[in-house]
Amino acid sequence: MSSFLEVSHVRANIEQYHILHDISFHVPKGEVTVLLGRNGAGKTTTLRSIMGLTPVIAGEITFKGEKIRNQKPHLIANRGIGYVPEDQGIFHDLTVGENMRVAMKKENEETKERMDWILDLFPDLKKFWNKPGGQLSGGQKQMLAISRAYVNDNELLLIDEPSKGLAPIVVEKVMDSIHQMKERTTILLVEQNFMMASGIGDRFYIIDDGQTVQQGQMNELKQDGVLLQKYLGIS
């Protein structure tokens, strides 16, 4: 399969702190690639760097063969990359419907079909369509955040910790939705919950102290107790 997101030797700072020292990985089309690592390893900063939200000081990022490093976030988004941030980024004063409409780049038959599919997947969103985003529960906000990124015909979704702070039953629901999206789009997932990540991911990269230190197929990682213990603290 061809690689259509390529991140090579990326370095990035947040103010005076060096967060990313040497991040390299590639995301093949049609797969779910998972970035794993402990808290503070640089996973979220990696996603933000791809989206142009954190400036990259060295290295290169290419999407479908074109350089996108340090481009404006709206240009990157318009290339077909959807981003679900860690904090969900729900607009609290807009209703669920308005949140979805703001996210929609165009309204046509295809987006309508995607919207219907999403609302079948997350009936809660339909139920609370006219409710302000700020009044949703944590799980509903996460569903809305994922739906917003999915409603457009994005070729790549960057999803940051979708299970964070959610009850196990909601995590299952979110996991199920990502499973279904996997059939339609390519996903780069950041996830701390290894059980969830290993259930969805095809390929993994482990980030430690701002560097990619391990990579491979998710099936192999599940069997590798030493690696799991060393980098993820899972015994």
Partner 1 sequence: MNLAQVEKSTWVYVAISFLLFVVPFIATGRSVQFLIIQIFVFGIFAMSYDLLLGYTGIISFGHVMFFGVGAYSTAVLFDRFDPTMLTFALAIIISGVIAGIVSLIVGVLTLRLKSHFYAMLTLALAGLFLVGAEKWRKLTGGSDGFTFGLPDILRDSFALYIVSALSLVLIFFGLRRMTKSPFGKVLVAIRENESRTESLGYQVLHYKVIVSVVSGIVASYSGVLYILSLRFVDTSVFATDLTIDVLLMTIIGGVGTLIGPIIGASLIEFAHHWLSDLSDVHWIFERWIILYGTIFILIVVFFPKGIVGTLVDRFYKWRARRT
74 near partner 1, rule: CB under 8 A: yes
Count of CB atoms situated within 10 Å of the CB of 167:
12
Please, are residues 4 and 185 in contact by the beta-carbon 8 Å criterion? Answer: no
Residues in the interface with partner 1 (CB under 8 A) total 23
73 near partner 1, rule: CB under 8 A: yes
164 near partner 1, rule: CB under 8 A: no
| Min CB(80)–partner 1 separation in Å | 10
Cα 86 from Cα 88, distance rounded (Å): 5
| Min CB(156)–partner 1 separation in Å | 13
User: Which C-beta is closer to partner 1: that of 111 or that of 198?
Assistant: 111
Part in contact with partner 1 (CB under 8 A); list of ranges 5-13, 25-33, 83-91, 227-235: 83-91
Cβ-count burial of 223 within 10 angstroms (0-12 exposed, 13-18 middle, 19+ buried)? exposed
Helices (H), the chain: 43-51, 73-78, 96-103, 109-121, 123-127, 138-150, 168-182, 194-200, 218-223, 225-227
The only residue of 67, 92, 112, 179 in contact with partner 1, by rule CB under 8 A: 92
The only residue of 24, 53, 64, 117 in contact with partner 1, by rule CB under 8 A: 53
Q: Token match 């990313």: residue?
A: 20
The only residue of 12, 19, 77, 125 in contact with partner 1, by rule CB under 8 A: 77
Which pair of tokens denotes residue 50? 């791809």
Q: Token match 């318009």: residue?
A: 78
* 121 Cβ contact list (under 8 Å, min separation 6): 147, 177, 180
The only residue of 14, 57, 58, 102 in contact with partner 1, by rule CB under 8 A: 102
User: Which C-beta is closer to partner 1: that of 128 or that of 194?
Assistant: 128
Residue ranges binding partner 1 (CB under 8 A): 51-53, 72-74, 76-78, 83, 85, 89, 91-94, 98, 101-103, 105, 148, 152
